[in-house]
Amino acid sequence: MSTTGNGAGTRKLEVIGTAAETTLGATRKKVDASPPVSKLGPVEADLPASRRVYLEEDELRVPVREIQVTGGQPPVRVYDTMGPQGHDVQKGLPRLRKPWVEARLARGDRNFSQMHYARKGEITPEMRFAALRENVSAELVRDEVARGRAIIPANRNHEELEPMIIGRKFLVKINANIGNSAVSSSIQEEVDKLQWAIRWGADTVMDLSTGANIHETREWILRNAPVPIGTVPIYQALEKVKGKAEDLNIDLFLETLIEQAEQGVDYFTIHAGVLLRYVPLTAKRITGIVSRGGSIMARWCLAHHKENFLYTHFEDICEVMKKYDVSFSLGDGLRPGCIADANDEAQFGELRTLGELTQVAWKHDVQVMIEGPGHVPMHKIKENMDQQLALCHEAPFYTLGPLVTDIAPGYDHITSGIGAAMIGAFGTSMLCYVTPKEHLGLPNRDDVKTGVITYKIAAHAADLAKGHPGAQERDDALSRARFAFRWNDQFNLSLDPVTARAFHDETLPAEAAKSAHFCSMCGPSFCSMRITQDVRDYAAAKGIGEDEALAAGLQEKAAEFRGVGSALYVPEDPA
Amino acid sequence: MSTTGNGAGTRKLEVIGTAAETTLGATRKKVDASPPVSKLGPVEADLPASRRVYLEEDELRVPVREIQVTGGQPPVRVYDTMGPQGHDVQKGLPRLRKPWVEARLARGDRNFSQMHYARKGEITPEMRFAALRENVSAELVRDEVARGRAIIPANRNHEELEPMIIGRKFLVKINANIGNSAVSSSIQEEVDKLQWAIRWGADTVMDLSTGANIHETREWILRNAPVPIGTVPIYQALEKVKGKAEDLNIDLFLETLIEQAEQGVDYFTIHAGVLLRYVPLTAKRITGIVSRGGSIMARWCLAHHKENFLYTHFEDICEVMKKYDVSFSLGDGLRPGCIADANDEAQFGELRTLGELTQVAWKHDVQVMIEGPGHVPMHKIKENMDQQLALCHEAPFYTLGPLVTDIAPGYDHITSGIGAAMIGAFGTSMLCYVTPKEHLGLPNRDDVKTGVITYKIAAHAADLAKGHPGAQERDDALSRARFAFRWNDQFNLSLDPVTARAFHDETLPAEAAKSAHFCSMCGPSFCSMRITQDVRDYAAAKGIGEDEALAAGLQEKAAEFRGVGSALYVPEDPA
């Protein structure tokens, strides 16, 4: 019932890949026979007038996307998640972090966590990289990571990563979930999904693949991922015990964690807060337990009548996490699955436990974020944020939506986008996207795009509400383009230029209309934008608020208007 | 640049209808040769398992839509805006209000405003009808109307109307805009647009038609409208002066008001708050004046260097309004057109003036609502609501969105749906929809549906947040259906059953899957919903919180699970 469940769903539908299928190991051994061919169009087609440029500082080259604007306006630079383009997916991305990691290995570090370095007062290249992307100081980044108020998910074995930061003093981030295909996949197919999600702005991607070729799929994704990759290890652990939750145990789980950590997974969703005593609290709910990981652990607890082994062995898990710098995404296994179940005893009980576990993780300098709901009516959203900050000691909050009503399946990207924008403005650091297929089926390519764009809207709206420095520049640039009828600029500055242009062209296809000083809404002979220009010209000439000048000016203007025959539309000179 | 402009935009693109075209007068004279054929599918196809039933009280029969639910669950009744179906559009709808209006005429009333009756302590049938729809007392309705905190838009010449109430103590309403076609229209074509919007839940419809057959188009719409119809009379007045704003004058405007009031228009958008002194305040804006009506009046003020004649002759306008009981929708001609211009001096200056005009209208017992923005970042939305309540003496607020960011043209139903849900929760009474084509082009049929559904989501989310009695019943019924895998119930209870079903069928087309105890998200062999049932069964048997029972029960449960081979999915008995 969750987006997590959504992605995971491919499992039961998939045709297991053959053994002949590629196994791209950490050694990057190339064994795929078929030449990779991407089904994605070129970036330029989706994001015209854009180019990847770099902010340089010492050895660092930090990517931003620069959107060219006409009309003598400066280009607009926006945060870029796409990563390097045009590489051979079988070789993977350039290993940006290789030298940084090797230096740490050379000096014999044992705890590779960014929090560990931050607390020692060390500003890492990852911190400087993230700081440049956010246009803030590296010291702010270090301080927030040291306090646990922000995380930099960066497994030391994910050397292809372009480091980024998740915390409420920074830009609100969004996560997109992908899973392996219902049919056996090729490298290119899996990487295409990743590329598609980050092309539209996903800041992190969770790989919820399941089934036989799960290890290889994850390898392909990691070697080609410029963004942090998250997983839910319990899914693979469950595969290993053939779907019998009660056969799970801590050794099997740790083995799975190490396997994934070795590959370079940056954060793990771990449902260590689903305690035995909380399980019966879900009985009175309308939709009970809707988290897949949560119900697996609940089933284990009931079957053994023992406490959740993820909770009882939490420190063993921390040992793995710090060795690779994998961040915790402490799962909300008891999150509400409908409006009626929001903010109940089970949910907040688990949240309290996640707060305790956060302090245990921090004892090991392991980075932590906290997962949140789910389904919450608008008037109960702020309480979620307030409780999370209080109970989890300001660790970053990572929420799924929340959906603010249950009556619109097919439109849950919207019902959840409303809640996401609000909780983002209240302080949530990352928003897990929801697609239109939520609760109904498996998202296709269009659904993934719609989900990502909707969540970029929610995250950006939250950035504006939080007054993030520079966030409004893009809004203003687009609004100026709109006012000046620079249609192509308006399209290019938007989150989805292709769709904006297509909608415009449905009514006014002619290329000439792209520069026409009117739009289809009011037509050429009248335009509300035109008079504003007249008002502006007048005010600029006379100065505003100078009453005499105003009076005189209005007289003048009045005469002038009558002079030109009082046409409501005064065309500009051809010049 | 506004939705208003949007609808109006058809004007310049349209081919004027021929003289041969129908003229369905107030006399309902049938002159259309071609037999009307609706292009809409039957309601049952769009809203399956639903039927129109009536709440009866004395002579009143108040429609509600009853959705049948399986699994032994009671049917769910929802507010119904569709009106009577299957009538001859050339004859129009049954005249529900005829006897009520005739009684008032018989006793020689001069002021037909619902506010006038409310203040005299008279509870009209319109008030009782609206009260039954809202499941509140008629006295509450009368009192709110008397205080001016709510309005019942109900022109005495719109006898086909099913009365409804707009106010913040009642369900949040939504408005959809329609305009005449780019090609010459038939009765059926125009009525289809109306029917399409109200089928999906539009509570009121604004007819923004322009051009030659504007009078006839309005007539067709009114005679077939069970919902209040609003217009922007200045558009037709501008037609009469061939688009020259400065040739407008109060006599021409009053003549236009009377023409439209005679036809039965229920509310007029009138931009009487655009004062000469406010116009220069827009000069420093990024997008200046974006309201079409606002810029027409600004142009008039500049051209004559005189005060807005709608302001100086406001009491003359009130005389017309009360004679027919047309409600004011005081237009926000200076609303912001982008994030940067939100909550500025021009906007709040005009709002203050609208507050003064509200008191003038109330002096005449004329009903008033206040139009609001537009484009507002989330952190500035509440100030809009607070200022409106304070400056406009709690008259109902009627807002367009607001859009919470400018960077997503093509998705402005979403950027505005976020703001609409929030301002609705803060107390806005009616939300004017925005379609995906906003700022780009003319909405087609799909865009209208998407806009209406998105705004139903926003309005319903606000009803939940305000704790409107019974609002959550539909959410709970749908969530129960979801939990019990009653897929068809889940579809039928949703805002858009067709889309929900189609999305589900993309992954699991088989009809059998509609009753399957799993969904495509987790597959048949594991389902997070199943374990909840086990937890529930246990808890129901043992009672929650009784620790011994709990301990015992868990032991028992543990044994039982191991007994059945610990399959995670325990199928139900065929029974």
Q: How far is A246 from chain B (nearest CA, A)?
A: 7
Residue written as tokens 């002021």? B111
**Structural domains of chain B ordered from first start:** 139-469 (3.20.20.540), 519-569 (no CATH)
Instruction: Name the residue with higher pLDDT: B216 or B474.
Output: B474
**Residues of B whose CB is below 8 A from A549:** none
As a three-state string, the secondary structure of B414-449 is HHHHHHHHHHHHHCCCEEECCCCCCCCCCCCHHHHH
Establish whether A344 is an annotated binding residue: no
To test the contact with chain A by mutation, choose from B248, B304, B413, B521 the residue with the greatest count of A C-beta atoms within 10 A, namely: B521
pLDDT tens digits along B284-313:
899 999 999 999 999 999 889 999 999 999
Reply yes or no on whether the pLDDT at B24 is more than 50. Answer: no
Question: Per the structure block, which two tokens stand in for A376?
Answer: 């919450």
Say which range, A144-148, A203-207, B147-151, B543-547, has the weakest mean pLDDT.
B543-547
Mean predicted confidence (pLDDT) in B57-61: 95
Phi/psi at B339 (nearest 5 deg)?
A: -55, -45
Cβ atoms of residues A568 and A532 within 8 Å? no
**Residues of A whose CB is below 8 A from B568:** 243-245, 296, 299
pLDDT tens digits along B84-125:
999 999 999 999 999 999 999 999 999 999 999 999 999 999
**Residues of A whose CB is below 8 A from B12:** 522-526
Q: Do A544 and B439 touch (CB under 8 A)?
A: no
pLDDT of residue A538: 55
Cα–Cα distance, B540 to B538 (Å, whole number): 5
pLDDT of residue A510: 67
Beta-sheet strands, E only, within B233-372: 267-270, 327-330, 368-372
pLDDT of residue B510: 67
Q: How far is B326 from chain A (nearest CA, A)?
A: 27
pLDDT of residue B574: 31
**Residues of A whose CB is below 8 A from B499:** 410-411
Q: Kindly state the DSSP code that residue B60 receives in the 8-state scheme.
A: E
**Residues of B whose CB is below 8 A from A482:** 1, 287, 337-338, 406, 439
Query: Whole-prediction pTM value?
Result: 0.89
- Pairing mode, if any, of strands A229-231 and A76-79? unpaired
Question: Per the structure block, which two tokens stand in for B465?
Answer: 């947040």
Closest CB to A532 among B282, B437, B525: B282
CA B289 from centroid of its chain's CA atoms = 25
- At position A342, the amino acid (one-letter code) is A
Which residues of chain A have a pLDDT value below 50?
1-33, 524-525, 544-575
Beta-sheet strands, E only, within B180-275: 204-207, 229-231, 267-270
Size of interface A-B (CB pairs under 8 A): 473
> Taking CA atoms, what residue in A is nearest to B547?
A277
Of the candidates A191, A236, A188, A190, the one whose C-alpha atom is nearest the C-alpha of residue A215 is A236
Reply yes or no on whether the pLDDT at B169 is more than 80. Answer: yes
Q: Do B408 and A340 touch (CB under 8 A)?
A: no
CA B96 from centroid of its chain's CA atoms = 21
Establish whether A398 is an annotated binding residue: yes
pLDDT of residue B15: 24
Establish whether B338 is an annotated binding residue: no
3-state secondary structure of B121: coil
Of the candidates A550, A522, A553, A549, the one whose C-alpha atom is nearest the C-alpha of residue B296 is A522
Q: List all residues 6 or more positions away from B537 whose beta carbon is below 8 Å from its beta carbon.
A: none
CB neighbourhood size of B509 (10 A): 10
Cβ atoms of residues A398 and A329 within 8 Å? yes
Mean pLDDT of chain B, nearest integer = 86
Establish whether B517 is an annotated binding residue: no
Closest CB to A475 among B338, B422, B567: B338
Cα–Cα distance, B531 to B536 (Å, whole number): 8
pLDDT of residue B13: 24
Establish whether A301 is an annotated binding residue: no
pLDDT tens digits along B352-406:
999 999 999 999 999 999 999 999 999 999 999 999 999 999 999 999 999 999 9
Establish whether B206 is an annotated binding residue: yes
> Taking CA atoms, what residue in B is nearest to A480?
B286
Question: Per the structure block, which two tokens stand in for A79?
Answer: 């945060």
The winner for highest mean pLDDT among B17-31, B56-70, B180-194 is: B56-70
Q: Do B464 and A378 touch (CB under 8 A)?
A: yes
**Residues of B whose CB is below 8 A from A409:** 478, 490-491, 494, 500, 503
> Taking CA atoms, what residue in A is nearest to B298?
A531
pLDDT of residue B22: 33
Reply yes or no on whether the pLDDT at B546 is more than 70. Answer: no
**Residues of B whose CB is below 8 A from A523:** 9, 11-13
Q: Residue B434: pLDDT band by 50, 70, 90 thresholds?
A: very high
Establish whether B177 is an annotated binding residue: yes
Phi/psi at A413 (nearest 5 deg)?
A: -65, -35
Closest CB to B461 among A404, A490, A536: A404
